[in-house]
Each structure stands twice: as C-alpha cells, then as structure tokens.
C-alpha cells in the first residue's frame, strides 16, 4: 500500500463479534467468500451495522466455486433482518456482488 500512496487503509485482526472500533467509524465492510465461514453471522452482522457510518456500505461478493457458497437471496434476507437495505446486485447465479446500505 505504501507503493501506491494509500494511507487510509490498515490491515488488522480482530474478533468479528466484538470489533475494537468506535460506532459509525467505517465507510465500508467488504467480504469476499467469507460470510458463511462465520459461525454466528447474526452477531457479526450486528457488529458490521454498529461500526458502519450511516452512509457506509456492507458488500458481499460470492462465487459458486466456494464450497460454502450462499445464494444471493439468503444473504439479502439475512442482511435485511439486521437493518440493511439492498442497494445494488451485480452478477448472476455463478458469481455476484451485493451492496447494502443501512436502512
């Protein structure tokens, strides 16, 4: 990242169920083929909602080759149950990206 002059990104490891960040401090939470690897997705989605700014984005990208592939419909339903509203769906059944805003 230093080579690209990117200064506002920091890679850290944290507990997804208790993120060590202030409320409304993130512009984006982006996961690629990750959400179905999280055992307690309800708790994780609550944390994502907490740390995202009001105009922040929650984004999932998934592809059918992932053994834990969730359908887009199942992720939309989960996100809606936790206060997120679908903003945009890109792709198809084989690969897709879902973009959500706080409702």
* Percentage of the chain exceeding pLDDT 70: 97
Give yes or no for residue 96 having a pLDDT over 70: yes
Give yes or no for residue 25 having a pLDDT over 70: yes
3-state percent helix, strand, coil for the chain, nearest multiple of 5: 25, 35, 45
Contact 42, 76 (CB under 8 A): no
Predicted TM-score of the model (pTM): 0.89
Write the pLDDT tens digit of every residue in 38-51. 999 999 999 999 99
Domain regions of the chain by residue span:
26-102
Q: What CATH class has 26-102? A: alpha beta
Over residues 56-84, the mean pLDDT reads 96
Over residues 7-32, the mean pLDDT reads 92
Q: What is the pLDDT of residue 1?
A: 58
């Amino acid at each position: 990242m230093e080579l690209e002059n990117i200064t506002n990104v920091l890679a850290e490891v944290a507990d997804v169920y208790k993120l060590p960040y202030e409320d409304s401090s993130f512009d984006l939470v982006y996961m690629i083929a990750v959400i179905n690897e999280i055992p307690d997705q309800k708790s994780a989605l609550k944390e994502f909602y907490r740390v995202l700014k009001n105009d922040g984005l929650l984004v999932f990208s998934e592809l059918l080759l992932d053994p834990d592939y969730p359908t887009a419909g199942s992720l939309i339903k989960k996100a809606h149950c936790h206060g997120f509203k679908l903003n945009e769906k890109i792709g198809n059944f084989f690969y897709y990206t879902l973009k959500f805003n706080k409702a």
